[in-house]
Homo-oligomer: A and B are copies of this chain.
Amino acid sequence: MEELGKRAMAGDMRAASRLIRNIEDNIPDTHKAIKHIFPHTGKAHVVGLTGAPGAGKSTITDELIMAIRKKNKTVGVLAVDPTSPFTGGALLGDRIRMLRHAEDPGVFIRSLATRGAMGGLSKAVGDGIHVLDVMGKDVIIVETVGVGQQEVDIINHAHTVIVVLVPGMGDDVQAIKAGLMEIADIFVINKADRDGAKKLYKETKNMIGMGKWTSGWEPPVLMIESVMEPHSFARSVAELYDKIEAHYQHLVDKNILVDRAHRKVVTELNDALKAAILDPVLKKLMADGEMEGMIAKLKTKATDPYSLAEEVAQKYMKDI
């Protein structure tokens, strides 16, 4: 497994791919590879791209790759997609996107599926970023859907967070903006040729105006026209990349890159603690069939979940 880490560090794309699959499948020994590469991480600029489904994140990522490559930088992409037995992994659109960059060794795109009832996706994203990082990718884009806590955990791995909004999605957009406001560094209003774009722009600006931006960076709001206007679209995304670079430079200049690193590291540590403390207990309970016995008791209401959990804690934990 360490060997796999070494080979990924040496730029072996097949080794890197296998490592990312192992991370995704939560193969226990994968930690050994990550331990090995961890000291060499931290060089890439990690960019998070989030927003509601249908906001056009994939299209923006695709064009962003072009903009980054034009500046002679290499790119890694981790696309975090919901999956199901119905689709069997990455969606068709992703495969097409990957093909578009397939000939370019400076681009490495992988999707990470949302699997496993107990989450662990944030850990997978953190480890995946480390792999792309030691492969020497200059910029790593993490593309994720949604607004839940898990998505915030995922986006915590990024230095620069882009939130993509679109006009005409109703009142709940307020809720997204609210949930993501604290972590957004750049807002993008996509499909800005649609009705309601100006209104959304004003609302976003107003909301930003109400925030306190102690780091000295007030999130800019960029308007991007729909992909129907390819030329203008490419130009807008190139502008977006300028803002992304400006944000990174701001972090460096103000000496606050370390704050972002803090956020990243806290998330990673929490993920690792869960994997080391909670997961082995769950595994043990499942292997022994104890879990099933507990579930049966709960169904008949012979006991309650908290009493059971306390018994388990007494059995497996030292006194704290």
- Chain A residues in the interface with B (C-beta under 8 A): 31, 34-35, 38-39, 41-42, 52-58, 81-87, 91, 93, 114, 116-119, 121, 145-151, 153, 168-176, 178-182, 207, 210-211, 258, 261-262, 265-278, 280-282, 284-285, 291, 294-295, 298-299, 301, 304-310, 312-313, 315-318, 320
User: Is A268 in contact with B305, judged by CB distance below 8 angstroms?
Assistant: yes
User: Is A317 in contact with B317, judged by CB distance below 8 angstroms?
Assistant: yes
Contacts of A82 in B (CB 8 A): 147-148, 175-176, 178-180
User: Is B178 in contact with A91, judged by CB distance below 8 angstroms?
Assistant: yes
Tell me whether chain A's interface is mostly helix, strand or loop, or mixed. helix
Q: A272 and B172 in contact (CB under 8 A), knowing A277-B316, A320-B281?
A: no
Contacts of A119 in B (CB 8 A): 119, 149-150, 153
Partner of A277, one of B207, B281, B305: B281
| For the complex of A and B, 6 pairs with smallest distance between CB atoms | A82-B179, A54-B169, A276-B309, A53-B172, A272-B305, A54-B170
Complex copy number for this chain: 2
User: Is A145 in contact with B148, judged by CB distance below 8 angstroms?
Assistant: yes
Give the CA-CA distance A310 to B269 in the complex, in Å: 11
User: Is B276 in contact with A306, judged by CB distance below 8 angstroms?
Assistant: yes
Q: A117 and B304 in contact (CB under 8 A), knowing A146-B146, A278-B277, A278-B278?
A: no
Partner of A269, one of B153, B278, B308: B308
Q: A38 and B262 in contact (CB under 8 A), knowing A278-B273, A306-B272?
A: no
Cβ-closest chain B residue relative to A35: B304
**Nearest Cβ on chain B to A319's Cβ, whole angstroms:** 9
**Nearest Cβ on chain B to A66's Cβ, whole angstroms:** 19
Give the CA-CA distance A77 to B278 in the complex, in Å: 31
Contacts of A146 in B (CB 8 A): 146-148, 151
Q: A305 and B172 in contact (CB under 8 A), knowing A86-B210, A181-B86, A261-B299?
A: no
Contacts of A285 in B (CB 8 A): 273
